[in-house]
Structure 1
Amino acid sequence: MAWIRPPMEIGGDVACALPGEEAPLISRLSETTLTDQHLVDDELNLSRAALVKQEAWWLLTSSVPLVLTYLCQNSFNFVSMLSVGRLGVNELAAASLAVMIVNCVVLMPSVGLANALETFCCAAFTASPDKTRVGFHMQRGLVAVTLQLVPGVLLFAHIDPLLELLGQTDEVSALCGRFLRIWLLGSWPQLAFECLKRFTQAQGIMQASTRVMAVVMPIHVAGCYLLVWSPTFGLGFAGAPLATVISNWLLLLGMVLCIALGPARAAWGGWTWECLHGIWEFYRMAIPSAAMLACSWAAFEMSTFGASIFGPVSMAAQACIFTAMAMTFQTPNAVGSAAATRIGNSLGMGKQRRARYAAYTAIGAGYIIGIVSSLLLFWYRRGWGYIFTDDRQVAELCAHLMPYFAAVQTYDGMNGVTGGIMRALGKQGLGAMLAFPAFWLLGIPLGFYLAIGPPRLEVVGLWLGLAAAVIAFSLPQQWYILFRVDWRHEVKVCLARLDRSSRPKYLAQSPEPQQACAAADSYGAIV
């Protein structure tokens, strides 16, 4: 197959290893084809235990920098909440509402679109001899997230009256609108950073975003203090979103420098308008990816809005719980992202067996992380609220809600892991089909019924509904991955998808999709 990535010469031997990889996908091959007997023997010589051990080690070493990146990135909101939380309950409620609106209107669809890059970039890096194919797909992601930002700009410009119509107080509405309009100044660099982060991860360069975060994070903490509380530079409430704007631009600048000065530069290839040709092939994966994320993410944000019905104290307590949820979710989410990279790279090289055990290992790791997180949250439930506010009512309600969140945290984290696996397989459409009934036909109606219906459980009812939705979404995905995926067939599907999405000048050099599928079909069936 002419379009499978050629091997690299290393000391006279032929190998095809990913950057920083301890267990190379292909080693010591004389030719780069999926039908090469040495390739099949290489897989047959590895037992299941050996594969699991290799994949567990790779997942550990690759997930750690991603966990640090995701935690630091998510802590931007955490630090912002800390900086405004002690200004007053209204300020904390307004900031929480603003973050919810940002998540629903901008980040939720845009991050969903960017997640589709894991479907294309990871497989393209190993399947194609032209590394710039990774940058080609990344350009499509940049176009998609930029267009997605337009509705948010139009909405945030005149959102104050809309919030008042929805029942928010005049003060909360004004503060929230002010927060959103300032945040818009740093919105595009945040979305571009998401695309660049996946661009480097697809090449196995997991540390790039971590290094950038390590530099920007202390700047963000200092910026929040100076712009909110400093007697000289402090702006009060407006300082929190302004600090986020500055940090987002620094993230983008740092990521661009890492790519320009590092090995990831080879996969860029320069901007080309040819990325717009056939972009609908990208949207075929990106729209379901956004829908899958939106169904679950919007359900959690809807419960935040529901909590606002019961007053600022409930809203503030919900904000504290959601900050905990966002932080604990980042570890399994990073595992899912690392698994997506590994599985996508493996499918691109025709390594269906390695892709399969990478998925199984990720699911096992997800359960371990989820159980540990749940126990820690339950243990520290009484002190969590006081991290954000001195208000006793808010802290006590936070402690009352925490056990419900801790109980569902394991399955919420598993959704982050299985989401990465589904993206690697290009099964976002199936994920969206499972998410919609779980959250919007079961979880949200049940939660609001328990909250404002005859049971009158208020915020507790919302969390019970979310718990039912998260479990109903998580278990079918796990069952599908463990028992229904035909991994040999997924290799064929992956190669055919890359062939369809090729740029025009590249199509002339590529073999027929049927040839790629036939070669993949002949690859070892051993499980």
Structure 2
Amino acid sequence: MSSNSTVEYPRESAPLLNSHPSETTLTYTPIHNESEVVPLDEELNVSRVSLIKQESWWLFTSSIPLSMSFFLQSSFNFISMLSVGKLGVNELAATSLSLMMINFLVRMPGIGLASALESFCNSAFTASSDKTWVGFHTRRGLFAITLQLIPTTILFMFMDQLLLLLGQTPEVSKLCGQFLHVWLVGSWPLLAYECLKRFMQAQGIMKASTWVMVLVAPVHIYASYALVWSPSMGMGFIGAPLAMAITNWLLFLGITGYIVFSKARHAWGTFSLDFIDGIGQYYRLAIPSAAMMACSWAAFELVTFGSSLFGPISLAAQACMFTAMSLTYQIPAAIGSATATRIGNMLGQGKHRRARYTSYVSIFTGYIVGIVCSTILFTHRRTWGYLFTDDDDVVVLCAKLMPYFVVVQMHDGMNGLVGGIMRALGRQSLGAALAFPSFWIMGIPLGFYLGMGPPKLGVVGFWLGLILGVVSYSLLQQLFILFYVDWRHEVKACLSRVMVPQPKKLNMANLTMPPLSDSAASYGSMA
């Protein structure tokens, strides 16, 4: 490719396309006498049965390691809930409320800001011979998450007083304030870990975070017990957030060590403040990414807060339900992540037919997983609460909520899965547009009306509203994918999305266009 050619990059709307398609593999044909072109699908003669078998096997083998990684990360909160559940209802309620605020005010915006690295780092690594641009963009992400934590830290320092003003009980407010003050020590390393994880993934090193979690998980289990219950070093309630802070630092130090002692360090470059120049370009992708995540995530956290207004019993039961959901969500979310990779890869190669069948297989698999998880949880609905507490009132309320929970659980998992397909298609804006009315115009208002309005259904009312929001969002996205997506057009749209100018600092003479075979090898390593 000539150095004088116009060289352009993937943008955030197609974050999983990590290279341009090779020019030698694409057959171009004009569309409607316009200058637009699409590659010719070379697999039109492959049978439908063969495609389904191949994609099912690929999805199965690729989702297993991703599910392990997702599950381990989610299990940390689950273990912390178990460690405090036997201390009492107030302690369990305060932990649930604290984790809700951590998710809503730290993890949701922080991971949203960090997710923009999936676009910048991937394109920098595959399109430039100067791999240190991956580190350049990662430093932008670290800067963004650091700024985001400043106002959050100030807010957390006074959270106990704010909760009292909002009508929370003095006992829960005090415990929640203590939890957040200690947890803040590990807030920055948690978000920095998310940035560095994407720094590694951009270079095709996909299992680094999994290995780090495998090593840290036993430490977290031991610390959660020892710092809460151990006769020699146990601190009671305050030991749970301390164990989480220690775990966050170990995750950060673990992945940093992996970078230092692996070839990934060569992509970091020399540290300087040059990354601040033009950082507005980073925020133009990072802010919409965070906003898209906020539409659905915030709805769940608001339901938790609304349940807390009915007292510690309702809040504790809510904690048991949402902890179960966070665990069962990981499998469909991992399938969605693998699906996004596969569809993005296939669209980049012009194989629109295979991409279409990948989406169908993925959706079908998601329903199978959802049915299995829902059946298991519903069968054990009368004993599930005892995993967290000995309080019979909490256990009874958990059993009462379980029928509503299994509906939400299935379709929330489908949202995580289908979200991967929407990302591969570059339809994040549409996803956010569908999420907002589903949750914030229909689901949440209905839930608060049923729960706190004239029907006086209490926490059950919140779950009925949540069902409306989650199911509406899930079905609307699936209807779009199954009936409205023109997959041949999506190939053309995919190729057009990967073309945007990069920062002026980038040396255009260093740009390369890797062959398709290299891209395929990269995706193979991800599996």
Counterpart residue number, 1:12: none
More divergent stretch after superposition (176-185 vs 206-215): 206-215
Counterpart residue number, 2:491: 488
TM-superposed CA distance for 1:107, in Å, is 0.8
TM-superposed CA distance for 1:420, in Å, is 2.2
Aligned equivalents of 1:355, 1:139: Cα separation in 2? 34
TM-score of the aligned structures, taking structure 2 as reference length:
0.84
Aligned equivalents of 2:69, 2:172: Cα separation in 1? 32
Query: Given the superposition, is the C-alpha separation of residues 252 and 309 from structure 1 closer, same or farther in structure 2, using an over 3 Å criterion?
Result: same
Aligned equivalents of 2:72, 2:185: Cα separation in 1? 21
Counterpart residue number, 1:89: 89
Aligned 8 A contact 1:93 1:172 in 2: yes
Indicate the SS of the match to 1:168.
Answer: coil
Counterpart residue number, 2:235: 235
Q: Is 2:173 aligned against 1:173?
A: yes
Aligned 8 A contact 1:425 1:494 in 2: no
Aligned equivalents of 1:46, 1:283: Cα separation in 2? 43
Aligned 8 A contact 2:448 2:461 in 1: yes
Q: Is 2:470 aligned against 1:470?
A: yes
Counterpart residue number, 1:412: 412
The alignment yields a C-alpha RMSD, in angstroms, of 3.0
Aligned 8 A contact 2:340 2:420 in 1: yes
Counterpart residue number, 1:186: 186
Counterpart residue number, 1:10: none
AA at the equivalent of 1:491: C
Q: Deviations over 1:195-246 (max 9, x none)?
A: 2223333444332211111110010010011111111111111100000011
Counterpart residue number, 1:249: 249
Q: Is 2:511 aligned against 1:506?
A: no
Counterpart residue number, 1:289: 289
Indicate the SS of the match to 2:498.
Answer: helix
Within a 5 Å distance, the mapping from 1:17-28 to structure 2 comes to none
More divergent stretch after superposition (275-284 vs 80-89): 275-284
TM-superposed CA distance for 1:143, in Å, is 2.5
Counterpart residue number, 1:223: 223
TM-superposed CA distance for 1:446, in Å, is 0.3
Indicate the SS of the match to 2:390.
Answer: coil
Aligned equivalents of 1:275, 1:357: Cα separation in 2? 41
Aligned 8 A contact 1:189 1:252 in 2: yes
Aligned 8 A contact 1:289 1:423 in 2: no
Query: Given the superposition, is the C-alpha separation of residues 324 and 432 from structure 1 closer, same or farther in structure 2, using an over 3 Å criterion?
Result: same
Query: Given the superposition, is the C-alpha separation of residues 510 and 124 from structure 1 closer, same or farther in structure 2, using an over 3 Å criterion?
Result: closer
Query: Given the superposition, is the C-alpha separation of residues 421 and 131 from structure 1 closer, same or farther in structure 2, using an over 3 Å criterion?
Result: farther
AA at the equivalent of 1:371: I
AA at the equivalent of 1:409: Q
Query: Given the superposition, is the C-alpha separation of residues 269 and 102 from structure 1 closer, same or farther in structure 2, using an over 3 Å criterion?
Result: same
Counterpart residue number, 1:451: 451
Aligned equivalents of 2:350, 2:280: Cα separation in 1? 25
TM-superposed CA distance for 1:122, in Å, is 4.6
AA at the equivalent of 2:201: Q
Query: Given the superposition, is the C-alpha separation of residues 337 and 195 from structure 1 closer, same or farther in structure 2, using an over 3 Å criterion?
Result: farther
TM-superposed CA distance for 1:355, in Å, is 4.3
TM-superposed CA distance for 1:428, in Å, is 2.2
AA at the equivalent of 1:186: G
Query: Given the superposition, is the C-alpha separation of residues 134 and 376 from structure 1 closer, same or farther in structure 2, using an over 3 Å criterion?
Result: farther
Aligned 8 A contact 2:187 2:245 in 1: yes
Aligned equivalents of 2:431, 2:96: Cα separation in 1? 28
Indicate the SS of the match to 1:381.
Answer: coil
Aligned 8 A contact 1:124 1:348 in 2: no
AA at the equivalent of 1:492: L
Aligned 8 A contact 1:127 1:348 in 2: no
Counterpart residue number, 1:11: none
Question: How many residues are paired up?
Answer: 488
Indicate the SS of the match to 1:285.
Answer: helix
TM-superposed CA distance for 1:416, in Å, is 0.6
TM-superposed CA distance for 1:26, in Å, is 11
TM-superposed CA distance for 1:323, in Å, is 0.3
Within a 5 Å distance, the mapping from 1:332-351 to structure 2 comes to 332-347=332-347
AA at the equivalent of 2:303: S
Aligned equivalents of 1:357, 1:118: Cα separation in 2? 25
Query: Given the superposition, is the C-alpha separation of residues 450 and 103 from structure 1 closer, same or farther in structure 2, using an over 3 Å criterion?
Result: same
Q: Deviations over 1:246-280 (max 9, x none)?
A: 11111111112223334544554454544444433
AA at the equivalent of 1:504: K
Aligned equivalents of 1:45, 1:2: Cα separation in 2? 35
* Identical aligned residues as a percent: 60
TM-superposed CA distance for 1:430, in Å, is 1.9
Aligned 8 A contact 2:425 2:490 in 1: no
Aligned 8 A contact 1:132 1:266 in 2: yes
Aligned equivalents of 2:336, 2:420: Cα separation in 1? 4
Aligned equivalents of 1:271, 1:359: Cα separation in 2? 41
Indicate the SS of the match to 2:411.
Answer: helix
Within a 5 Å distance, the mapping from 1:138-153 to structure 2 comes to 138-153=138-153
Within a 5 Å distance, the mapping from 1:150-169 to structure 2 comes to 150-169=150-169
Counterpart residue number, 2:367: 367
AA at the equivalent of 2:316: A
AA at the equivalent of 1:366: G
Within a 5 Å distance, the mapping from 1:121-136 to structure 2 comes to 121-122=121-122, 126=126, 131-136=131-136
Aligned equivalents of 2:439, 2:28: Cα separation in 1? 46
TM-superposed CA distance for 1:47, in Å, is 4.5
TM-superposed CA distance for 1:43, in Å, is 4.3
Gaps of 5+ in 1: 5-23, 513-527
Indicate the SS of the match to 2:507.
Answer: helix
AA at the equivalent of 2:492: H
Aligned 8 A contact 1:339 1:359 in 2: yes
Aligned equivalents of 2:56, 2:400: Cα separation in 1? 37
Within a 5 Å distance, the mapping from 1:28-67 to structure 2 comes to 34-35=26-27, 43-44=43-44, 46-67=46-67
Aligned equivalents of 2:128, 2:347: Cα separation in 1? 12
Indicate the SS of the match to 2:506.
Answer: helix
Aligned equivalents of 2:274, 2:348: Cα separation in 1? 23
Indicate the SS of the match to 1:500.
Answer: coil
Aligned equivalents of 2:123, 2:20: Cα separation in 1? 15
Aligned 8 A contact 1:119 1:426 in 2: no
Aligned 8 A contact 1:119 1:425 in 2: no
Query: Given the superposition, is the C-alpha separation of residues 94 and 103 from structure 1 closer, same or farther in structure 2, using an over 3 Å criterion?
Result: same
Q: Deviations over 1:366-387 (max 9, x none)?
A: 2222222111111111111000
